[in-house]
Homo-oligomer: A and B are copies of this chain.
Amino acid sequence: MLYQDLPREKLVELRKELSAEYEEFRKAGLKLDMSRGKPGLEQLGIAHDILTDDSCVSPGGIDCRNYGNPDGLPELRELFSAVMRVPASNVLLGENSSLSLMYNCVMWAYIFGVGGCKPWSQCGNVKFLCPVPGYDRHFAITEEFGIEMINVAMDGSGPDMDTVEKLVSSDPSIKGIWCVPKYSNPSGVTYSDETVRRFAALRPAAKDFRIFWDNAYCVHELYPDDAVQLADLYGECVKNGTQDMPYIFFSTSKITYAGGGVAAVGASDSNIAELKRRTSIRTICTDKLNQLRHYDFIKASGGIENIMRKHAEHLRPRFEKVLEILDSELSGTGAACWTRPSGGYFISFETLPGCAKKVVASCKEVGVKLTPAGATYPYRRDPHDSNIRIAPSCPSIEELTVATRLLCLCTKLATVEALLSSN
């Protein structure tokens, strides 16, 4: 029965029961961290052969220990090219962090301008579109550069493209958009083919408008035999003559090691030439030894897909356990709704308006740390205070069970209290 339909005295009674249950959790002395999409211990074991690989000369004869090859190891660029769906010559390898590659792209456009246009720092009030809920670290970059962030709603097929098209084509101060096109962080949504085609067909008012296509979860299936297909943005852009719009980001953070993977950016001929030139002032070369280890490991594994199957075996039961508990505890209560992603790292959870902060605080009070409420919105301001990001990857199934039950309990309690105080 919907909580909204319960009479007041029933709600009061429920609050009492739920509060008692909550006190039991307090006594349990929990200490769990579900705040970030951190791989679990089992997952870190998958890439063990990277640790034991002692090779230093690439198949093409490059001594990876020395300086040289500022674009990164050609063999690995070739391999990434297939996943990123841009030609290998248009792939530039970074260090372990795709975030820092995104940062560089924003930074260089801000300082020097991109594509021959005026630096964003000289363009007055520069704006980015931010599909919400989204990834807090994206928003932190644009916030750092004083770029105004405009929320764009997401639905099951991606960002609201009517709004995106309207804003991008009419406002030259809109210089970019943050996208996680597959298994979006945190909603788990994969952009539909139609959405991707509409992105490629954008006609921005700003010549230097860029799509920051953070394809962080491009191969991160929970059900590999029913893999979700994301349309090929770069290919669509080439067809439309808009290939200078996207920067395409990729990393192995959730394929090999979260802290020691290899990141890459792919872009059009002129974009990548600009990135390579700027990069050459910043550093002599990236760590080719780690690139070689990655190449060897992926080759020996028979490709990235085989590695991802092992991750799925670890992640799938965790996602299923969380969903099972949410279903059994909250279905029919009207207290929350949530996504059922078939890949990626997150479940997006929506409380009634005004309850998310309270729920996260209650969980924290008894030892379960969730992603801070609001984090999935620019400026940490969730207009409805309703979104919570659930990150099931790191805890054990037992821990997840406890933490999700607690989340359900705190959600019910916050809902009851909200209903009581609004009556």
Given the known A-B contacts A97-B284, A100-B283, A121-B121, are A67 and B36 also in contact in the complex, defined by CB atoms under 8 Å? yes
Please indicate the chain B residues that have their CB under 8 angstroms from the CB of A141 in the complex.
Answer: 281-282
Identify A51's interface contact among B39, B47, B56, B286, CB under 8 A: B56
Q: Does A220 contact B (CB under 8 A)?
A: no
Q: Once the chains are docked, how many angstroms separate the CA of A257 from the CA of B63?
A: 11
Contact residues of A between 262 and 282, Cβ < 8 Å to B: 278, 281-282
Q: Does A65 contact B (CB under 8 A)?
A: yes
B38 near A66 with CB under 8 A, answer: yes
CB proximity of A363 to chain B, nearest CB, Å: 21
> Using an 8 Å CB-CB cutoff, how does the interface string of A98-137 with B read, 1 for contact, 0 for none?
0110010001001100000000010000000000000001
CB proximity of A58 to chain B, nearest CB, Å: 12
CB proximity of A341 to chain B, nearest CB, Å: 21
> Using an 8 Å CB-CB cutoff, how does the interface string of A19-47 with B read, 1 for contact, 0 for none?
00000000000000000101101001001
Q: Once the chains are docked, how many angstroms separate the CA of A281 from the CA of B287?
A: 21
B281 near A259 with CB under 8 A, answer: no
Given the known A-B contacts A44-B66, A99-B283, A260-B290, are A51 and B54 also in contact in the complex, defined by CB atoms under 8 Å? yes
CB proximity of A68 to chain B, nearest CB, Å: 7
Identify A259's interface contact among B55, B278, B289, CB under 8 A: B289
Q: Does A288 contact B (CB under 8 A)?
A: yes
B283 near A97 with CB under 8 A, answer: yes
Q: Does A144 contact B (CB under 8 A)?
A: yes
B56 near A54 with CB under 8 A, answer: no
Q: Once the chains are docked, how many angstroms separate the CA of A137 from the CA of B281?
A: 7
Given the known A-B contacts A107-B111, A111-B107, A290-B287, are A281 and B64 also in contact in the complex, defined by CB atoms under 8 Å? no
Given the known A-B contacts A38-B67, A54-B51, are A259 and B287 also in contact in the complex, defined by CB atoms under 8 Å? yes
Q: How many residues of A contact B (CB 8 A)?
A: 47
Q: Once the chains are docked, how many angstroms separate the CA of A103 from the CA of B283?
A: 8
Q: Once the chains are docked, how many angstroms separate the CA of A111 from the CA of B112?
A: 11
Identify A67's interface contact among B54, B103, B258, B281, CB under 8 A: B258
Given the known A-B contacts A51-B54, A121-B111, are A284 and B137 also in contact in the complex, defined by CB atoms under 8 Å? yes
CB proximity of A303 to chain B, nearest CB, Å: 21
Q: Which residue of B lies closest to A51 (CB)?
A: B54
Please indicate the chain B residues that have their CB under 8 angstroms from the CB of A39 in the complex.
Answer: 66
Given the known A-B contacts A95-B287, A100-B283, A282-B99, are A259 and B64 also in contact in the complex, defined by CB atoms under 8 Å? yes
Q: Does A140 contact B (CB under 8 A)?
A: yes
CB proximity of A36 to chain B, nearest CB, Å: 7
Please indicate the chain B residues that have their CB under 8 angstroms from the CB of A145 in the complex.
Answer: 111
Given the known A-B contacts A44-B65, A54-B52, are A260 and B289 also in contact in the complex, defined by CB atoms under 8 Å? yes
B284 near A65 with CB under 8 A, answer: no
CB proximity of A314 to chain B, nearest CB, Å: 14
Q: Does A387 contact B (CB under 8 A)?
A: no
Identify A111's interface contact among B67, B68, B111, CB under 8 A: B111
Q: Once the chains are docked, how many angstroms separate the CA of A99 from the CA of B282?
A: 6
Q: Does A96 contact B (CB under 8 A)?
A: yes
Given the known A-B contacts A107-B111, A111-B111, A121-B111, are A67 and B283 also in contact in the complex, defined by CB atoms under 8 Å? no
> Using an 8 Å CB-CB cutoff, how does the interface string of A65-77 with B read, 1 for contact, 0 for none?
1111000000000
B287 near A260 with CB under 8 A, answer: yes
- A67, A260, A278: most-surrounded residue (chain B CB, <10 A): A260
8 CB < 8 A contacts A-B = A44-B66, A52-B54, A65-B257, A66-B259, A68-B259, A103-B283, A259-B287, A287-B287
Q: What 5 additional pairs, Cβ within 8 angstroms, besides A65-B257, A121-B121?
A: A44-B56, A68-B259, A95-B286, A100-B283, A144-B281
6 A-B pairs with the lowest CB-CB distances in the bound complex, closest first? A260-B289, A97-B283, A51-B54, A65-B257, A100-B283, A95-B95
